[in-house]
Amino acid sequence: MKLSQLAETLIGSEIVKLGGEIREKIRKGETVYNFTVGDFDPAIFPIPQELEEAIISAYRQHFTNYPAAEGNLDLRENLKSFIKDWQGLDYTTDEILIACGGRPLIYATYRAICDEGDKIVYAVPSWNNNHYTHFVDGEHVVIEATAETNFMPTAELLKPHISSATLLALCSPQNPTGTTFTKEGLEAICDMVLEENKRRGAGEKKLYVMYDQMYWHLTYGGIKHVDPVSLRPEMKDYTIYIDAISKVFAATGVRVGWSTGPAFIINKMKAILTHVGAWAPMAEQKAVAVYLKDRGAIETYLKQFKQKVSVRLTKIYEGFQQLKSKGYPVDAIAPEAAIYLTIKIDAVGKKKADGTLLNNQADVTAYLLNEAKLAIVPFYAFGSSKDNPWYRLSVGTCKEEAIADVIALLESAMAKLS
């Protein structure tokens, strides 16, 4: 039975495949430390109480009809104020679009800007840019970032590939790495984009930047979030932001996201999503509009939330450094942001206790799951090369008291390799 070219050529998800294996092991009663999901266990990381109460109140007030296609005006007005106060950026309500989380907004960005065959530049590892490029039948221009730059793309890496490109997809703090752009690094990229757009003629498409900053409130230590328009105001004409409550308030299932950008692009994105019907629910929009005004509650929530995430990331990082100091083939990048730790397990070529060789990174991933009960996502699931020994470890469902057991199991598994 023949279906559409898009349906027939969709790329399978390595994360979904791994998730199926994990669920089967749990179903059989096995213990699995599941650090694969970019989500939160509500028992560990609940949404803010004030937001929860506002949602309940909105439903009791019967806010259950269709919202405005662009998002309710009260939410866009309060977002305008919130963005100004927290990020220092000035956007009108006509430059803000609401949707049910970040995914529809990313899809609409690709659809509004890119035609078939357009060059779309993105670095790997990164989340889902390969799939969205496939949706619009764009030309994949893939840049492989490395540990030397904390897996963040640089202007030097990008510059040879941007001539005639239509979209540059950037993310900071980055999923899957939990690493961030430095001020100098992002300034260099912005200057490169501005120079390229000045070079292009009046009839040419400009080079636009999609800037996914879903995790930008979750930075740790001395890390400061940076963004294109704050660094280079001229970038406002070329930048579409992707943001949401999903990660900052551990509210992945509440489904309220927003884009800010040039009004002529935002309007086209709105038209696309109107046909898709990807609106954020009315009651949740009303609740978020109320909650955004309570700046004291937001600051209180973020302080404890970030502390809980940071403790988990730091303890696991320290555990990996201890294993590294003992000579095991592991490493980790110091946590910077988000809910992710970038870890390395370089065991290809090692032999298991039964003499079986770990021939490739997929074998290593399976060994970690079976022997150490550790479920993590390999960077090759995010577009990197199949032999990349680095992984994403998410702490969204991590119990702090389980960390010592995780490190001990991993050490035991590593000790059995020869």
Residue 24: per-residue pLDDT? 86
24-32's contacts with Cβ under 8 Å and 24+ in sequence apart are 25/369, 30/373, 31/373, 32/369, 32/373, 32/375
Give 34-49 pLDDT, tens digit per residue: 999 899 999 999 999 9
Topology of the domain covering 5-45+299-415: Aspartate Aminotransferase, domain 1 (3.90.1150)
User: Do residues 219 and 180 touch, judged by C-beta distance below 8 A?
Assistant: yes
Give 296-351 pLDDT, tens digit per residue: 999 999 999 999 999 999 999 999 999 999 999 999 999 999 999 999 999 999 99
Residue 2: per-residue pLDDT? 87
pLDDT reading at 211 higher than 90:
yes
Residue 286: per-residue pLDDT? 98
pLDDT reading at 13 higher than 90:
no
User: Do residues 40 and 406 touch, judged by C-beta distance below 8 A?
Assistant: no
Query: What CATH class does 49-294 carry?
Result: alpha beta
What tokens appear for 276 in the block?
A: 């898709």
Distance of alpha carbon 18 from alpha carbon 376, whole angstroms: 9
Per-residue pLDDT band at 23 (split at 50, 70, 90): confident
Residue 268: per-residue pLDDT? 98
Give the dihedral of Cα atoms 308, 314, 320, 326; nearest 10 deg: -130
Residue 140: per-residue pLDDT? 97
Give 215-272 pLDDT, tens digit per residue: 999 999 999 999 999 999 999 999 999 999 999 999 999 999 999 999 999 999 999 9
Q: Which ranges of 117-253 would DSSP assign to H, the alpha helix? A: 129-135, 155-158, 183-199, 228-231
Q: Which residues on neighbouring strands pair with residue 97, listed in sequence order?
A: 259
Residue 118 makes CB contacts below 8 A (sequence gap 6+) with: 136, 138, 139, 165, 166, 167, 205
Q: Is the pTM of this model over 0.85?
A: yes
What tokens appear for 30 in the block?
A: 């096995």
User: Do residues 182 and 336 touch, judged by C-beta distance below 8 A?
Assistant: no
Average pLDDT, the chain: 96
Per-residue pLDDT band at 203 (split at 50, 70, 90): confident
**Which sequence spans correspond to the domains of the chain?**
5-45+299-415, 49-294
Compute the average pLDDT of residues 68-84. Answer: 98
Residue 272: per-residue pLDDT? 97
